Structure formats: C-alpha cells, structure tokens
Amino acid sequence: MQQLAFRFGVMLQEARKEAKLAQKELAERTGAKKSYISRIENGRSDIQLSTFYKLIEFGLGKSLNISVE
C-alpha cells in the first residue's frame, strides 16, 4: 500500500512541476495544506482517490483517467 502512495506522490509532483506550480499554490487552489501536499509527494501520507482527483482536476486543471488492466 505504501508503494501506491509513493506512486501517487510522484505523479502529483511531476504534474505540479509541469504546471509550474509551487506546493503552496496547489494547496491554496484546493484548500489543502502545503505540508499535506509535501507529505503526499514524499510518499509519507496516504491519499484518498477523491482527494487525488481534486488535486489533479481542480488544482492542476488536468484530467485524471484511471484504467484497470
């Protein structure tokens, strides 16, 4: 489970950097705390799928597509 949290964190960090946003800006856009964004990106915090969706869709203006293979 911790590996999954790490993967979400890495994906979030890459998308945030691609959008040229600081953690603080992403946090402000989504109502999260900067420290929570940091913990997610460093794999030190679990994240609910609904929260990940909110960060990607509303915070970064990107779409989140999930597939099961």
Q: What is the pLDDT of residues 14-46, one digit of tens each?
A: 999 999 999 999 999 999 999 999 999 998 888
* Rounded-to-integer distance, Cα 17 and Cα 66, Å: 21
* Rounded-to-integer distance, Cα 26 and Cα 24, Å: 5
Q: In the chain, how many domains are there?
A: 1
Q: Is residue 69 part of a domain?
A: no
* DSSP conformational letter for 43: T
Q: Is residue 67 part of a domain?
A: no
* Rounded-to-integer distance, Cα 50 and Cα 20, Å: 23
- Supply 24's token pair: 């603080």
Domain range for 8 is 2-59
Q: What is the pLDDT of residues 45-67, one digit of tens each?
A: 888 889 999 999 999 999 988 87
Determine the pLDDT at residue 46. 84
* Rounded-to-integer distance, Cα 5 and Cα 51, Å: 12
